[in-house]
Amino acid sequence: MTQQNGSNGDQPIIICQDVHKWFDDFHVLRGIDLTVEVGEVVVIFGPSGSGKSTFIRTINRLEEHQRGEIVVDGIELSHDIRNIEAIRREVGMVFQQFNLFPHLTAIQNVTLGPIWVRRWPKKKAEEEAMKLLERVGIPEQAEKYPAQLSGGQQQRVAIARALAMQPKIMLFDEPTSALDPEMIKEVLDVMMELAESGMTMLVVTHEMGFARAAADRLLFFDGGVIVERGTPEQIFNNPQEERTKLFLSQILQH
């Protein structure tokens, strides 16, 4: 751990400056500036292809950025592989398609990281994993395989798996988009609880109810830039940009 490590609490935990990314010649991210404080919940929304998923994937370096600077918890993301692995231990991620490991049971999914990355003894990892499965409300499913669980249960296991690494930041990439309607609430409830517990969260979602209730800030992405940012109050009641108004009217119509 370096001296500039941000665990003292008054430094921002994520600093992005002028982040650019290209997929081949396609310019996906066109200069993102963002500072996130410890414990903040930031909801990112916008049309598909706007670069919002790509952006949160750059924060744990699942995607590489080609210009600009990203500093997470005092560590700059660079080509240095040790930095990347250090960051990934601090940042948990939940995916749209859950991405559970299908050959492992729920509890094995959760204990894999602690045992192999954090080098915890198996017993300790399992005890902690059971606590997490209780926290997300499915301790009785511990010995089941992902294919035997409903979508909502799978996503909750995925959240427990990410939390098992004791991250300082949680990234959510459209966590409820692949779920049947009746299962969305059980996942959002877990996320609400997490937000209230003080976790720093970046959430890509179109669940505006969740955004209104949990977010400290909203970011509207379009065309690879942050078009508008503000509190839920400002964005929902008084959006400034035409594109924001149009998009909100489209998704809030129903």
Binding site for other proteins (CB under 8 A): 60, 62, 85, 88-89, 91-93, 95, 97, 99-103, 105, 112-113, 116-117, 144-148, 158, 161-162, 164-165
User: What whole-number distance in Å separates Cα of residue 119 and Cα of residue 115?
Assistant: 5
Using the minimum distance from each CB to other proteins, give the nearer residue, 87 or 183.
87
Closest separation in Å from C-beta 162 to other proteins: 7
**C-alpha closest to that of 194 among 173, 218, 170:** 170
Instruction: Mention every residue, 6+ apart, whose C-beta is less than 8 A from residue 57.
Output: 63, 171, 173
Using the minimum distance from each CB to other proteins, give the nearer residue, 96 or 234.
96
Closest separation in Å from C-beta 134 to other proteins: 20
Determine phi and psi for 200, rounding to 5 degrees: -75, 125
Closest separation in Å from C-beta 88 to other proteins: 4
Helices (H), 38-150: 52-59, 81-90, 106-116, 122-135
Closest separation in Å from C-beta 55 to other proteins: 15
- Report CA torsion sign: 145, 147, 148, 149: positive
Using the minimum distance from each CB to other proteins, give the nearer residue, 74 or 92.
92
Using the minimum distance from each CB to other proteins, give the nearer residue, 91 or 190.
91
Closest separation in Å from C-beta 82 to other proteins: 10
**C-alpha closest to that of 39 among 215, 189, 206:** 215
Instruction: Mention every residue, 6+ apart, whose C-beta is less than 8 A from residue 238.
Output: none
Using the minimum distance from each CB to other proteins, give the nearer residue, 116 or 233.
116
Instruction: Mention every residue, 6+ apart, whose C-beta is less than 8 A from residue 228.
Output: 219, 220, 235, 239, 240, 241, 243, 244
Using the minimum distance from each CB to other proteins, give the nearer residue, 175 or 239.
175
Residues paired with 42 in a beta bridge: 202, 217
- Give the pair of three-digit tokens for residue 72: 């997470």
Closest separation in Å from C-beta 2 to other proteins: 18
